[in-house]
Chains A and B, each alone.
Chain A
Amino acid sequence: MFKSLTLSAVLMIGAATTALAQDPQSGGTLNFTAPYGSTFGTLDIQSSSSTQDEFPSKAIHRSLYDWNSDKGEPELELASEVEVSEDGKTFTYKLRDATFHDGEPLTADDVIYSYKRLATPSNAFAGARYFTNLEGIAAFQDGSSPDISGLKKIDDKTFSLTFTGATEPGYDLMRGNAAIYQDGAAEKADFLSNPVGLGPFKFVENVPGSRVVTEKYDGFYEEGKPYLDRVNLILLGDASARDVAFRNQEIDVSVLGPSQYVAYQADPALKDQILEVAEVYTRNVGFNPEFEPFSHKEVRQAFNHAINTDLIIDRLVKNKAYRATGFLPISSPAYNQDAVPYEYDVEKAKQLLADAGYPDGFDMTLTATQNESWGMTIVEAIIPMLNAAGIRVTANPVEGSVLGEVVPAGDFEAFMWSNVSGPDPYAVMTSFYSKTPISAGNYWRFNNAEFDALYEQARDENDPTKRTDLLRQANDIIQEEAAMWFFNYNKAVMAYQPWVHGLQANATELAIQNYEDVWIDDTAPDSRK
């Protein structure tokens, strides 16, 4: 069954549940929950790299591209058309007729202002990396040029982006923190407290630590949308409280953890309102090949064979995950559907260790956080399994911010993490290219000549089908080399009330929705009408 899941089928698991044969209705309020913490950081989404901050920004702002959940690819959002040069380096965009919430029209000046603000080094925005291969970025960032030569205004509604090599800018420029602001927006006094955007909903109120309230923008560029009058983005970080609030119909949508996933599936009143999707995150144990045992492929393979991965996914992750074969997830176009995961075989693991020169096994330290799905709970479960094969593990529990420090610094023997593995397979594979520094994402210190050759071919290939095929082969090498313990791909699960329609199975982050497509029907309680 696992192998038969195609990208579209996976994406449609949830979408099918919402595709009811009803015409969308206008009006009403959606109480949407932001589950990843107890605060929104900032309403200046360009300055943020937090998923939590994307909840309000997705209502208020828009980027040049957006993710199409049905097709599983980025598509134009603020531009009506794009012309790509023959060499694949220059993209000329014609902006659509859209207006900001104050009624001012979107122009090329707004785009140029926004991208220059993102790329300005003194701002220290994480989104600056989207422009690292834009022509003239170095001169702009070292201060020798006030402009970026690869970012040009052609007329009020047309601009172009010129990159130093062939690229697909949609994957970066669809991100929430690549939002287009009004020219000069950040210089306004109320910029942080009263954001003005191009999105389907206008900002109304921010109660710090509690909620952000938005209301319908009548001038939104999509005809007849948004359907809802109001969207409340409610902070509700505690899973138990979210459960009570959902059952009490105070919130319309709730992100589920493994325990709740089981409970909701077993509840006849809730089981039909579950949306799930294979997200682009791969949970893994990364090995440091500079730690002598992990320099041997046989040892890394032995690690994979020593763990009963299916059992852990079943018992601990409650099947809220898909078994990983390689690094690229099943929602990736370059996923290899024929790949077979490493089988659980302790004897084979012992033999591989002996072949690598470790007949008595070895001792190692595994650094992990307290995360419920890819942290110490899992580490504690695999310790006895690995011990049976001769790999004696000492756990090193750390906080998330510490993991984010020690791994890019290479200060580990092995780590457990959930790493982004999509949606752009080429960008993801860059993390395994030998010329990519550890600090820039090659946490596994992967260095394989065959992989590098395939990656470089993919980089230079303009045909998308051929490029995807090359990346699929590159992914197979990562699996064969056992660069990590391939644990699982996250299955994101969201429960929604029966009166809610139009939610999208967004594989990049399920909880981030295009609210303009969501609507509620007559069965909603009075508080939502």
Chain B
Amino acid sequence: MLGFTIRRILQMIPTILAVALLVFVIFSIIPGSFASSLMSDGRGGADADMLARINAEFGLDKPVHVRFFEYITGLIQFDLGTSFKFREPVTDVINARIWASLKLSIAAMVFAIAIGVPLGFIAALRPGSILDTITMVFAVSGLSMPQFWLGLLLMYFFALQLGWLPSFGYGGGQLKYLILPAITLGVTPLALLARTTRAGVLEIMNEDFIRTAHSKGMSNARVIRWHLLRNVMVLVVTTIGLQFGSMMGQAVVIEKLFAWPGIGLLLVDSVAVRDIPVVQGTILVIVVWFLVINTFVDIIYAAIDPRIKQT
């Protein structure tokens, strides 16, 4: 297992380097710069000399290959550079927001797993029942409903009409501020998990080894526990891993709507003002998060199904 884990971790390195190169090249090519973004509000904030000074100050007047070399050299030493906008180290800028992002992602995923997986199971165990129908209608709605609209609806009912929860903000990190954004963000993975779990359970229920277990006189509960659950978990864990891994990057709409100080929103804002060090840093963090989660999922696979470890 240790060798398997090390192999998976080493496989992350070329992916990270490829992403770093890609992001650097893209933002070196596209028009617009941090200096020009200072002009975008039409206030005439700087003239050509000043813009040149700003470019020189941030090293943007150097050739692309020199900048890339400096960037990679810094990256190897875990130095993501200095933000043009915040004038602080990028690690500090990201550090101040990463915990809010993690908190939101974990809360949304816990919500999705806690409801989506049992719902999928129950629906599959009673296919065609009213419960199954309701679950699937809910799942399809959850997948197709725009998160922005759902968030506004939740705000309207739980904040404006009922007054139970705050409509926006981070507060002091209290749970009440987390509930609405986490539910909004968690509904899509919840629906996906419910559908995936239901499909997985139905498929395995028709397998020969399940019929054999039943014919041997094994109780329904024991069949589910010993034969069904373990097999379905591979599919469910895959879905959880993919959803959880991509959640940090997907949360930007929710972060904006609820004024949640996560890194998704930081990324979008930084792209708009061409704060390239922050853009590169946040994308790397999101990619590393995705890779870590999926490496972790691979390890869990191996624990659930030892055949995977051997492939």
Contact = CB atoms under 8 A, between A and B. Distances in A.
The A interface is mostly helix, strand or loop, or mixed, namely mixed
B50 A124 contact: yes
Nearest to B273: A401
A262 to B, nearest CB: 18
A236 B42 contact: no
Given A401-B32, A420-B43, A241 B50 contact: no
Given A210-B261, A405-B39, 10 more contacts: A42-B86, A207-B170, A209-B100, A210-B100, A211-B170, A235-B261, A236-B169, A399-B32, A408-B48, A441-B47
Interface string B11-28: 000000000000000000
Interface stretch (A3-11, A98-106, A245-253, A514-522): A245-253
A244 interface: yes
A38 interface: yes
Interface string B80-111: 00000111100001001100100000000000
Interface stretch (A43-51, A56-64, A144-152, A287-295): A43-51
In the A-B complex, the 4 residue pairs with the closest CB atoms: A209-B261, A400-B40, A404-B39, A439-B48
Contact of A402 (B31, B159, B163): B31
Given A38-B256, A209-B100, A244-B152, A404 B36 contact: yes
Contacts, number: 171
A281 interface: yes
Interface stretch (B53-61, B130-138, B232-240): B53-61
Interface in A249-263: 250
A237 B256 CA distance: 7
A431 B256 CA distance: 36
B35 to A, nearest CB: 8
Interface in A425-451: 431, 437, 439-441
Interface stretch (B189-197, B264-272, B295-303): B264-272
B75 interface: no
Interface string A399-413: 111111111100000
A437 B48 contact: yes
Nearest to B30: A402
A122 interface: yes
A318 B19 CA distance: 45
Interface in A146-195: 192
Counting chain A CB atoms within 10 Å of each CB, the highest count among B42, B256, B257, B261 belongs to B42
A248 B160 contact: yes
Given A248-B159, A401-B36, A234 B269 contact: no
B53 A124 contact: yes
A238 interface: yes
A401 B50 contact: no
Contacts of B273: 401
Given A207-B261, A241-B259, A401 B45 contact: no
B155 interface: yes
Interface string A220-236: 00000000000000111
B97 A208 contact: yes
Contacts of B45: 49, 126
Contacts of A406: 31
